[in-house]
């Protein structure tokens, strides 16, 4: 299988606290209403003390308004800390189709990539960005978010087109995974990678590059950006991430030509 879109560029940006960024009016109350039925205690200090970088602000720092794109597929694990702005509207430009994938934890960007490839297969959407984002300004305690960096938020954009230099030979979603080590071994045997970029919960791979543990859905993609920036011979890089809470193991293969093509 060869997917129609190839990677032309990967951009990774980090975002920190902005002293000019005030508390987001009404957003603590917004989340309070939504989590109240589930009896989860609020923690407004997490909103007030953290960066409050909205996905709107982060996305527009990574994707320029005049960037030539037909489709933007956003992927996020944590909800936006500011839902007062429509991210879809903000990024729509003249005629871009913008949509977002969520509720899939760490593997949402893999699904975003699959959606992007499926739209490109129709021939209508040739210039695509898949944008993964993590932010931590969520005003309640959640056991699955404790490892998320409190001071650095991340956005990683993969720009894709048929003319990109990095091919995508394979994109794999495995569901209901109970033994990730077995499943991973089988998939890696078929994909024959030179380098594996592995997420936090992916079983140990000899010689693999381990993604940062304090990112959720951006970890393996920022690690991919770093890997692609290293000069070297032609190689196959496989990005793998496992979402144990939801039972997903996902892999994406990239055939990188023998020179540095992408700036991190």
Partner 1 sequence: MTTTIAEIATYLPPTSMTVEQVGKVLGLRPAATRMYRRFYGLDQVRWAPDEQLTDLLIAAASRLELLRGNEHRVRYLLHARSIEPAAPYSLNPLHQARDKLGLTNAVTFAVSQHACASGLLAVSVAGRLLAADGDADALALVLTGEKTYPHVTEVTPAVTVMAEATAACLVRSGGTRDRLLASASHTYGEFHDITIRTGDIATAFEQNYPVALEQVVQAAVERAGLTLADISLVLPHNVNRISWVQLCHRLGYPVERVYLDNVPVTGHCFCADPFINYRSARSLLRPGDHYLMASVGLGATFSAMVFQH
- Interface with partner 1 by CB under 8 A: which residues? 26, 29-31, 33-35, 37-38, 40, 74, 77-80, 83-93, 95-104, 108, 111, 114-115, 117-119, 121-122, 138, 140, 142-145, 173, 175-176, 245-248
Closest CA to 101 of 111, 88, 91, 90: 111
Q: Strands, E, within 118-203: which ranges?
A: 128-134, 153-161, 167-174, 195-198
CB-CB neighbours of 70 under 10 Å: 17
Nearer to partner 1, 97 or 229 (CB): 97
Edge-first strand listing for the sheet containing 153-161 = 6-15, 153-161, 128-134, 71-76
Nearer to partner 1, 72 or 202 (CB): 72
Rg (CA), the chain: 18
For the CB of residue 254, give the shortest distance to partner 1 in the complex, in Å: 19
Nearer to partner 1, 188 or 246 (CB): 246
How far is CA 22 from each of CA 28, 52, 56, 106, rounded to the nearest angstrom? 13, 8, 15, 29
For the CB of residue 92, give the shortest distance to partner 1 in the complex, in Å: 4
Nearer to partner 1, 87 or 237 (CB): 87
Closest CA to 18 of 153, 148, 145, 147: 153
How far is CA 208 from each of CA 9, 77, 93, 100, 193, rounded to the nearest angstrom? 22, 24, 39, 30, 10
For the CB of residue 234, give the shortest distance to partner 1 in the complex, in Å: 27
For the CB of residue 152, give the shortest distance to partner 1 in the complex, in Å: 19
Location of structure tokens 């430009």: 93
For the CB of residue 96, give the shortest distance to partner 1 in the complex, in Å: 8
How far is CA 249 from each of CA 37, 180, 224, rounded to the nearest angstrom? 31, 7, 17
Nearer to partner 1, 186 or 245 (CB): 245
For the CB of residue 125, give the shortest distance to partner 1 in the complex, in Å: 10
For the CB of residue 56, give the shortest distance to partner 1 in the complex, in Å: 8
For the CB of residue 208, give the shortest distance to partner 1 in the complex, in Å: 24
Nearer to partner 1, 102 or 209 (CB): 102
CA gap 86, 67 in Å, rounded: 19
Nearer to partner 1, 145 or 264 (CB): 145
Nearer to partner 1, 89 or 231 (CB): 89
The dihedral sign for the CA sequence 41, 200, 111, 84: positive
């Amino acid at each position: 299988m060869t997917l129609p879109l190839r990677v032309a560029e990967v951009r990774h940006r980090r975002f920190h606290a902005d002293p000019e960024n005030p508390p987001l009016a009404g957003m603590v109350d917004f989340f309070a209403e939504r989590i109240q039925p589930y009896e989860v205690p609020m923690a407004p200090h997490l909103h007030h003390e953290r960066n409050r970088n909205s996905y709107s602000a982060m996305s527009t720092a990574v994707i320029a308004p005049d960037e030539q794109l037909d489709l933007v597929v956003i992927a996020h694990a944590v909800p936006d800390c500011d839902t007062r702005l429509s991210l879809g509207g903000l990024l729509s430009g003249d005629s871009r189709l913008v949509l977002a994938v969520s509720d899939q934890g760490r593997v949402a960007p893999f699904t975003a990539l699959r959606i992007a490839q499926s739209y490109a297969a129709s021939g209508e959407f040739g210039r695509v960005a898949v944008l993964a984002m993590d932010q931590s300004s969520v005003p309640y305690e959640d056991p699955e978010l404790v490892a998320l960096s409190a001071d650095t938020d991340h956005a990683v954009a993969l720009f894709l087109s048929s003319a990109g230099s990095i091919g995508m030979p394979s994109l794999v979603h495995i569901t209901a995974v109970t033994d990730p080590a077995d499943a991973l071994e089988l998939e890696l045997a078929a994909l024959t990678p030179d380098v594996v970029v592995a997420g936090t919960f992916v079983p140990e791979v000899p010689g693999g590059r381990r993604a940062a543990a304090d990112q959720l859905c951006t970890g393996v993609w920022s690690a991919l950006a770093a890997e692609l920036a290293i000069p070297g011979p032609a190689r196959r890089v496989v990005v793998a991430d496992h979402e144990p809470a939801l039972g997903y193991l996902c892999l994406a293969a990239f055939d990188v030509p023998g020179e540095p093509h992408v700036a991190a």
